[in-house]
Structure 1
Amino acid sequence: MTAPLDIDQLHTFLAIVDTGSFTKAADRVFKTQSAVSMQMRRLEERIGKQLFAKDGRGNRLTADGEKLLNYARRIIRLNNEAIAAFDDNRLEGTLRIGTPDDYADRYMPEIIGRFAKTHPNVELYIVCENSSSLAERMARGELDIALVTHNPRARISDVVRTEPLCWVASANHPLREDAPVPLAVGRRDCLWRQLACSALDADGREYQVLFTSWSSTVVAAAVLAGMAVSVLPESALRPGMKVLTSGDGFPPLPPVQIGLMKRPGLSPSLMNAITDHIAACLDNISPAVVPDDLDSEPKGIGRSLKIRAGQMATSW
């Protein structure tokens, strides 16, 4: 019979991937670096494939390592769910999470679903606001975890996802080529707005900010109505939107990063539980599918949610 994969080795494998180094992974899994290296050699022997390759002073995943990554996350997740199902000392309490509404629409359903399944006695209190407001709430101790746009010039967060930033317009309403680019963007401190304006300035392209809102729902409405162009991360694209490229006269944009902020003093067990779920969910998220013949449906804005054991109530 084929020998099963070792759960501890898979834990270490994921720690290396998530931290980006064998040294940091050793600290996370409470092992020496030599023990971590030995575990990876044994895992490679078990798989029969090389999982890491040298990349300068660091290591990167090989194609086979990338292939194992998804299986490893699924195996660890199922293992944790099985243990939680028979745990008489389950986590309890309230976890206060902040996220912008564009991240909430795309990421939170899976995060909430997985967390509620493994930790049904933990109440999730979710606040949807812009990244700047969430950072202020974190500073006041009003939130435990915040998923924000990573912006090292404005706040400190741990990067958990990187993806392309795209110019978007309505798929059903052509833009006027002889007029300044009409923009629908966030407020002046919004990083995406700053990147969009800087790119247009550098390209010598005229533009006019017509709509300003911290709500992605409002911005998306202006785009889908054919009234404006905006910028969105790839995973946040909506049906009815068209991605604009250099062929349409729009300059390339740098990628954007999603960061995780954590409150000092948060219970380590709660923090590890939710951050592990967030990391696994974001790693499995694929780019949004945006068929041109569908319209986007309106979403609520400025909402706070309380969730326990899979049930959701909304307060405005």
Structure 2
Amino acid sequence: MLDLVQLRSFVTVQQMGSFTFAAERLGLGQSTVSQHISKLEAAIGRQLLARDTHKVMLTPDGEALLGHARTMLSIEGQVQALFTAQRLRGTLRLGVSEDLVASRLPLVLEDFVRSHPSVDLELTVALSGVLYQMQDNGELDLVLAKRRLGDSRGRLVYREPLVWLARDPEHVLSLAALPLIAFPAPSVTRSIALEVLERHRMPWRIVCTCGSLSGLTAAARAGMGVLVQPQSMSPSGLKEIGSLPQLEDVEFVLIPSKGADRALVSALSEDILTKVKGLR
């Protein structure tokens, strides 16, 4: 029979791409996590992870096991919740900024859904400004989004610098007007970038507008222009441009809605605060 503790270590190593980060997230020693993987591989009789100096990746056998491992851990969470007197129930409508949903949130949401199977989590992904409008209209219970410095709303999760990015910085800087790739308004990063350029009297033009980060990234990788993003979320294939005026930092915050279920909002908020900070 497969050991659920070993499976949890296996899934976490896959999520984090590192034995060290997986151990930190699980609150275990790295040697303990390594032992879990070794015992799991011995029990199955197959190598599950391929290790090199940069990253830990799944082997084909590891890929085959991953879905089943997640299912078994999910069932464990459902059973635990079934016999927990204070288990959470209900619907929680979560709004998340486009920037965060692909980079940091999947691991948090996967754990939350597994731990609280009686909670129906409804996820909305949009620009921060749109999420604030939806929350004002009573359409969301909790928002995880960006705010500008000086804005007091919400509970701070973390603060991060914005950076200019391009595939070929020298080329875009040689143009008469800086070609910008940006989210449509209302967008925090768009507003900050345009204000900085106007303040420094630098000519600019919008060459691509898209509500999806994947679309903006594709345009930037195609060499169309300059993209502004939080530094830790910089897409691969793009380079920072240090010669452009410095951009202000942005803050990522959690904002609960009045009237939302306090227990549900508190449980997910604490998960996000703990785990998103841990992923940093």
CA contact (8 A) 1:166 1:233 kept: yes
User: Corresponding residue for 1:92?
Assistant: 89
Gapped runs of 5+ residues in structure 2? 1-22, 29-76
The alignment yields a C-alpha RMSD, in angstroms, of 2.9
Return 5+ residue gaps in structure 1 as ranges.
Answer: 1-69, 76-80, 287-316
Q: Given the superposition, is the C-alpha separation of residues 173 and 158 from structure 1 closer, same or farther in structure 2, using an over 3 Å criterion? A: same
In structure 1, what is the equivalent of residue 263 of structure 2? 269
- CA apart distance, 1:193: 1.3
CA contact (8 A) 1:169 1:243 kept: yes
Q: CA deviation at 1:127?
A: 0.8
Higher helix share: 2
Do structure 1's residue 279 and structure 2's residue 279 form an aligned pair? no
Q: Determine which of 190, 193, 196 is the counterpart of 2:190.
A: 193
User: Using a 3 Å threshold, how does the CA distance of structure 1 residues 226 and 266 change in structure 2: closer, same or farther?
Assistant: same
Instruction: Label 1:234 to 1:200 Cα distance change in 2 as closer, same or farther (>3 A).
Output: same
Q: Is contact 1:180–1:208 with CA below 8 Å preserved after alignment?
A: yes
TM-score, normalisation: structure 1: 0.59
Task: Find out whether 1:138 has 2:135 as its counterpart.
Answer: yes
**Counterpart of 1:277 in 2: which secondary structure?**
helix
SS of the residue corresponding to residue 172 of structure 2 reads coil
Q: Distance in 1 between matches of 2:119 and 2:206?
A: 43
Q: Measure the CA separation in 2 of the matches of 1:257 and 1:273.
A: 21
Give deviations 1:79-128, integer Å, cap 9, x for gaps: xx9x8686243111211111122211112211112212321221211011
Q: Is the 8 A contact 1:130 1:215 kept in 2?
A: no
In 2, the alpha carbon distance for the partners of 1:138 and 1:150 equals: 14
**Alignment check: 8 A CA contact 2:178 2:205 kept:** yes
Contact 1:97-1:146 at 8 Å conserved across structures = yes
> In the alignment, residue 279 of structure 1 is paired with which amino acid?
L
CA deviation digits over 1:220-248, x for unaligned, max 9?
A: 12111100101000222111111111xxx
What's the counterpart of residue 252 of structure 2? 258
Match of 2:270, SS state, is helix
How far has the Cα of 1:136 moved from its partner?
1.6
Of 160-169 and 259-268, the range deviating more from structure 2: 259-268
Deviation of 1:212 (Å): 2.2
**Counterpart-to-counterpart distance in 2, 1:108 and 1:209:** 29
1:164-179 alignment runs, 5 A limit:
164-170=161-167, 174-175=171-172, 177-179=174-176
Q: For residue 110 of structure 1, what is the amino acid of its counterpart?
A: L
Q: CA deviation at 1:152?
A: 7.3
TM normalised by structure 2 equals 0.66
**Which amino acid is 2:105 matched to?**
M
What CA distance in whole angstroms lies between the structure 2 residues aligned with 1:266 and 1:178? Answer: 50
1:121 and 2:125 correspond = no
Distance 1:212 1:100 in 2: 17
CA distance in structure 2 between the aligned counterparts of 1:108 and 1:281, rounded to whole angstroms? 9
Q: Secondary structure at the match of 2:139?
A: coil
Matching residue's letter, 1:284: G
Q: CA deviation at 1:188?
A: 3.6
Aligned residues: 209
Q: Secondary structure at the match of 1:160?
A: strand
Give the AA of the match of 2:226.
V
Residue 119 to residue 171, structure 1, CA distance change in 2 (3 Å): farther
Q: Which residue of 1 aligns with 2:222?
A: 225
Flag the 1:193–1:89 CA change in 2: closer, same or farther, 3 A.
Answer: same
Cα distance change on mapping 1:85 and 1:170 into 2, 3 Å: farther
Percent sequence identity is 27
| 1:244-263 per-position Cα deviation (integer Å, ceiling 9, x unaligned) | 11xxx311111111121211
Call closer, same or farther: CA 1:194–1:110 in 2, change over 3 Å.
same
Cα offset for 1:278?
0.7
Q: Within 2, Cα distance between the matches of 1:118 and 1:173?
A: 49
Structure 2: which amino acid aligns with 1:251?
P
**Change in 2 beyond 3 A, CA 1:136/1:152:** farther
Superposition deviation, residue 179 in structure 1: 2.5
Deviation, structure 1 residue 205? 2.5
SS of the residue corresponding to residue 150 of structure 1 reads strand
